[in-house]
Chain A
């Protein structure tokens, strides 16, 4: 319960250290300030380091993997972790679980990043136009939104994959198409909020015109929520991909995917629990890391936005 007067105090006397914290001029300072705030959240920072390691592991997957993830050897079926050079054991077809996990990571990150970034780029374009210009683009977006409200992303993705096949590209497209509407709505809402802010009217009174207002004044101020949405969108896309694989609709086997590894493990929960445990743990940690980074970004921007 902050009394109005205390809030006034906060606003009237900006925290002294923020004066000290802002080095140099230009927009560089703004981002540096946000980065510093972000690093104050240790969990977010550790998560970010973890994600960077994951990305490195995915890039270097062929070097890290101890075996060919696709190599079958039924004679070595269901080996326990640590046996015969198999760090995390083997699956029912004798494939190395660790190597499949690493290559599954590759699939997950490629799908997650590419699908999310594609959806985001489209969402920013449409959302900005719909929010700033209004009119036809906005009606169209709202129409789409209505439909998407009745069509949960997962279900839509299932149908899209059914239509487009099960290549990595198709899965990425399906996920991007199924998820852009929500993000476009977010960008639109942000744009609308910012459009109503006094500094936009003041800029228009100075003579600033459409593209300048949209790209230089609105977009930079919408970056916070957009970045937060991205950091929640990537794990969302990863989860969708794994979910599709779980249903047997994800990337075509035998390409390793965490979702199909989970499904394959269901039958052996008692005999070989590691088949499920290994992907489940890495999967969960990955999702959590992205979420914690998202929380960190949100906090970093939140404090900046306090006085605005």
Chain B
């Protein structure tokens, strides 16, 4: 579609090698990749970690790490100048002027000790674009254009004085202030929450609409789809597929592309599927790949009664295994007070999975730690099996640990680094004095097999395993004591999509096989939809909406839930219209959860008419 346009960049046979470790082992990070970029076009380079996607693009600008070297290839800019062989001086005249770059995290890519003013002006001067006064004027203009309010004041700010969103915008303004022909964006939204991600991408879309060509490096197909015309799929340093975006989505040819697409979990996958036949009592259900999790009517039926919370009566107590009543947690760091969790009431029924979703700082992980009895509550009661946690005797509390286990986000960090894998899995059995050494070892080997780790590798250390395998090991450890409840705190967030899919499948299998009750925390709505029976949406420490999964995703009521859902960038569907304005927080001391439909609770202001919107 862009064949007639000017060719901006022709990369041919680019190869980058790295020397690794003490022995200087050679590693080919990028292996003979070739692609074209035309003026005004947006190209996505997608791949998982270690695919070489970032290294390959950085090499074009001479930003290869010191232990790396471009060993082959050409990169023609505008058909004549080879970026890879030109002198440092000539390259410097292009970098930052014709070709600008933004990175993942604005906090790290802006110099913390210089004001925005210095950082937005300096390269205009370096490239002799204008004098200092004009440069300053242009910087202020650009900040305003990127959606930063009061730019003439904000320009005096240091990066740390800005909020995360403004910082990200300032970084893009810095790249755009020289009016470049090509903008390279290296995972520019990976470090930010979904709503901000959407705002940033809309900003980039505006920039693209004005004619700037773009290379977007990302692992997120949704992001790529939203912005880019063409896509290069990279795996192990090679481009495995090169096509335009629509073709890629509908008709990907390479097995790796297909795998990547199939592994992508997204909102709507579950809801759209017919689920009439799904009946689930307490996990006799066999493992199923596609829809392992039920949002079926039987389950939500039992939920409806249970979640008639917010003051009303509880169901048969035997059914509720874990219960929070008006739980609050307040931290007192050096500066001020942080209300991490506020007035949260939640019941966990036997065999169900509750998804806890929210952006960073919403209090979801704090809530998990409260349930795990790792931190005490400031206010409220947590009941386990009908007993108040605070009033439990130490021995009872220790039993609770026995019955409730956790899997954390950082598998590498959550395994004992100085213990072998087998010893790691045995450790909970040691702590709770279960069995004798021989039986413990046998149990650990059995568990490793169950989670898909070869028990023959049990004598190795966690760091010798890949991230996905480490999460499997951590899961085996969590299962060692045969717990009733499993708390999963972002267990797949640090993993690549293909690995994430495997781990989610593993969880689904285990849950149905063992009848586990789960509290599953994630910032990723698609993952939450996939695993949960009920979903609680958190913001600023409050639960703003709580509903059966299908109900929540089909009929979201709270403005924040809606905004979260709108912000999602699907791969297989069209994204929804997104309103930049963040909804005013309705949650405060004067609000309460109101049941607007059976089992569907929404936070509303007290006094506001309890209008039940049409479902």
Contact = CB atoms under 8 A, between A and B. Distances in A.
A14 B406 contact: no
A221 interface: yes
Given A6-B65, A12-B49, A18-B463, 6 more contacts: A4-B104, A15-B25, A199-B413, A204-B374, A206-B401, A206-B477
Contacts of A10: 20
A85 interface: no
A84 interface: no
A27 B419 CA distance: 7
Interface residues of A, number: 44
B405 A5 contact: no
A150 interface: no
A2 B67 contact: yes
A220 B52 CA distance: 36
Nearest to B187: A4
Contacts of B467: 11-12
Given A18-B464, A202-B474, A5 B55 contact: yes
A15 B416 CA distance: 19
Nearest to A16: B25
A3 B372 CA distance: 37
A198 B53 contact: no
B428 A5 contact: no
Nearest to B419: A27
A265 B106 CA distance: 62
Contact of A203 (B104, B416, B423, B460): B416
Interface string A1-37: 1111110111111110111001011110110000000
Interface of A: 1-6, 8-15, 17-19, 22, 24-27, 29-30, 40, 197-199, 201-209, 212, 217, 220-221, 303, 307-308
B67 A221 contact: no
B416 A19 contact: no
Classify the interface of chain A: helix, strand, loop or mixed: helix
A6 B303 CA distance: 47
Contacts of A308: 412-413, 417, 463
Contacts of B408: 198, 201-202
Given A198-B408, A202-B408, A19 B460 contact: yes
Nearest to B429: A206
A76 B553 CA distance: 100
Contacts of A208: 427, 431
Contacts of B52: 5
Contact of B401 (A19, A27, A199, A205): A205
Contact of A13 (B50, B423, B427, B459): B50
A24 B25 CA distance: 25
Contact of B414 (A5, A24, A199, A220): A199
A303 B20 CA distance: 13
Contacts of A221: 417-418
A22 B405 contact: no
Contacts of A217: 416
A199 B432 contact: no
A25 B459 contact: yes
B406 A307 contact: no
Given A27-B418, A206-B477, A3 B431 contact: no
Contacts of A6: 18, 29, 55, 65, 68
A22 B420 CA distance: 11
A25 B458 contact: yes
- Top 7 A-B pairs, shortest CB-CB distance: A207-B401, A25-B459, A198-B413, A307-B463, A202-B414, A9-B50, A8-B49
Given A3-B65, A25-B420, A206 B49 contact: no
A24 B459 contact: yes
A3 B54 contact: yes
B80 interface: no
Contacts of B63: 1, 3
A189 B234 CA distance: 43
B461 A22 contact: yes
Contacts of B459: 22, 24-26, 29
B405 A1 contact: no
B398 interface: yes
Given A1-B66, A14-B463, A207-B398, A220 B406 contact: no
B412 to A, nearest CB: 7
Contact of A1 (B65, B372, B374): B65
B441 to A, nearest CB: 11
B22 interface: yes
B466 interface: yes
A279 B418 CA distance: 43
Contacts of A209: 431
B180 to A, nearest CB: 21
10 contacts: A9-B49, A12-B466, A25-B422, A198-B410, A199-B413, A206-B477, A206-B481, A207-B398, A207-B401, A207-B428
A11 B412 contact: yes
B454 to A, nearest CB: 13
Contacts of A199: 413-417
A27 B459 CA distance: 10
